[in-house]
Structure 1
């Protein structure tokens, strides 16, 4: 396991951030108060985490979150910024728990990929859920803010979970041949 941060890793992280930003502009569905189903904009960050591990993945994810905020800002409070950008996208680095060592995939490896994607997007969901309850409860009307926030955020993150899982499982084998 290479724990050393090197130029190749940082360059790959920068490329993955740029690719994620480009993919974030291909919107399949956009929710009214923010959040969208994209053409797999989180996949490059999660793939990076699966190649390099949780620590570098969290760093690259959080960096992507800051750049995402700069390009599409939605700011109400410093804590909301942390929850919706820095922490939420930093959670994408949890895909690094599915760090693959072999190039041949078996059923267990597919499960690891799905688990990594589930933890990543699940962490992002929890972060957005908390932000929704604390800062956007007025949109819930008479509904419980927890339920409203869960339905709202799940409405775009569940499709992203499905898209990301399928694409990462399909791309893992060919992309794993790239040397570090």
Structure 2
């Protein structure tokens, strides 16, 4: 019996010390929280139409790329703005859903597939994180911009963790996967985020919020 318990503890320790296991648990937890939030959405025809338009506009804006990284990721002309606006207008719940749906569209259009959990952390989850700005929706514009920074950083974190766990083998000899993932994602996402922040700064956000249906 003691040998059995020791073996069980060792197996559990090996499982939960695995980076893939840890990142899987994090991903599942985030999804569960987001799904709980999404259940509160009361859909209207206008809302559904605007979500569809936001996803379509995001797809179009992402086609205009200033820079494209070798294994996915690009600097665009504000492709995150439509999802951020949906989150500001309707709140985080619909922002999470819009980001999730766009992540699936992005997966179909340009997949880089290594592992099912990598797909989760490189596609649906990062864009879901943009819904975080919805928690700042009723604040002043500086607070909304701060919320955008938090949302974009959360997206960066998803790509970073995926890079450490799944893309680390692509790191040059002698470079740690932690540094490689940081440098890889830093080559496109910060600039892409700054462009989105600049666009949000000049948009009449209060006026746009009046289109809520």
Aligned pair partner of 1:66 in 104, 116, 121 = 104
The structure with the largest alpha-carbon Rg is 2
CA positional deviation for 1:173: 4.6
Show structure 2 runs of 5+ residues with no match: 1-39
In 2: Cα distance, 1:179 partner to 1:64 partner: 20
Asked whether 1:82 is paired with 2:100, we answer no
Contact kept, 8 Å, 2:71 with 2:112, in 1: the verdict is no
- Superposed CA RMSD in Å reads 1.6
User: Is 1:127 aligned to 2:158, yes or no?
Assistant: yes
Instruction: Tell me the CA shift for residue 177 of structure 1.
Output: 4.3
> Normalising to structure 1: TM-score of the pair?
0.89
Aligned partners of 1:27 and 1:39 also within 8 Å: yes
Unaligned residue ranges in structure 1 (runs of 5+): 101-107
Deviations 1:24-73 (A, max 9, x none): 10000111121100011110000000000001100010100000110111
- Is residue 211 of structure 2 the alignment partner of residue 178 of structure 1? yes
**Separation in 2 of the partners of 1:150 and 1:68?**
22
Deviations 1:139-177 (A, max 9, x none): 222112111111211221111121111101211255344
* SS in structure 2 of the partner of residue 37 of structure 1: strand
**Secondary structure of residue in 2 paired with 1:33:** coil
Q: Answer whether contact 1:113 1:169 (CA < 8 A) is retained.
A: no
Q: How high is the TM-score relative to the length of structure 2?
A: 0.76
Q: Residue 198 of structure 2 is aligned with which of 153, 157, 166? A: 166
